[in-house]
Amino acid sequence: MAYRKIIHIDMDAFFAAVEQRDHPELRGKPIAVGFDGPRGVVATASYEARRYGIHSAMSIVRAKYLCPELTIVFPDHTHYKEVSMEVQEIFREYTDVIEPLSIDEAFLDVTENKKGMEMAVDIAREIRERIRQQLHLTASAGISYNKFLAKIASDMRKPDGMCVVHPDRSDEFIAQLKIEKFWGVGPKTATRFHRMGVFNGADLRKLTMEQLSFVFGKVGRIYYNFARGIDDRPVVTSRVRKSVGCEQTFLEDINTRVAVLVELYRIVLELIQRIRKSHFEGYTLTLKVKYEDFTQLTRSVTKPHPLQTKEQILPLAKELMKQVDYEKRAIRLIGVSVSNPHLADTHSVWVEGELDFSA
């Protein structure tokens, strides 16, 4: 049987690593990339900072508490994107079948590659060395015969490591894999699995398709296949954009009508700019509100025409906001997005993270 050769490359602590590379005074020190303010959140933490328990999505306040000597670096996303493009230029010397998952990770299908190299592990090793020599950064790699296993493998020996899951060893590898490590299993889904007595791949493999489908619906089939090392998704070189959105966390909670409408207006203007830049056409407007106690709600409306202008979006956003009670609970964050593109094939695109419907 001929297997595909899939590599997953994941840049190590990408934003922080770029900052430490470009600023020698930061090397070897615990740093976090993010906004240094009471509502700031860690985008990426260096490995020196991670030893203190600091991680992405943690509040800056909490991070500073854990590590008083932590250095906070304001993010330079334009520069990070430029460096990401340099990494992808290296990828393209080996294959054009590249699927970026984000600015710092991507799948490569090297079954047929430009260098005629037989072993995917040799390609991954060479790419990592090129990244080290040319860009002075490190990357971890996972190599296997499908996307699911390649991605899981890339996390096994981080940072600056490489892991291969050979077809002959995949059953053993999956059996000992914690259920939390399965692609698409978030904290809430993991809790549901635990209640079912499922803690690893071996436990998951004992469940029938019918059992998994009953509990998880259509996604049950995916979990069933993953437990058996089955993932037929190709490496997709172009992805259909499903939504455009933006959100704002406020320095201070707001609960007056004037403040809410002013911030909503600003966010809608930013959304319109992003829609224009991406040439996106979507028919559903969604408002997200996060309260001071971190609970959140969403409200949506769908129209028969694309939502692209201020005249189309702002009145709808205001109507949705009327459904939100913020007199007793102040608002911490407001987000607005346009989704539901009028494309017949959008259902075929699976964006990472969508599996965890309960999260």
Sheet holding 31-34, edge to edge: 42-45, 31-34, 71-73
Torsion region of 100: left, alpha or beta (phi above 0 gives left; psi -120 to 50 gives alpha):
beta
Structure tokens at 250: 């406020």
Quick check: is 118 catalytic? no
Rounded CA-CA distance 66/342 in Å is: 47
Rounded CA-CA distance 262/108 in Å is: 45
- The residue from 86, 105, 247, 352 that is catalytic is 105
CB-based burial, 158-190: b 16+ in 10 Å, e otherwise = beebbbbbeeeebeebbeebebebbbbbeeebb
Distances (CA, A) of 153 to 41, 158, 165, 187: 28, 10, 7, 20
Helix then strand then coil, % of the chain, to nearest 5:
40, 20, 40
- Indicate which residues carry an active-site annotation: 105
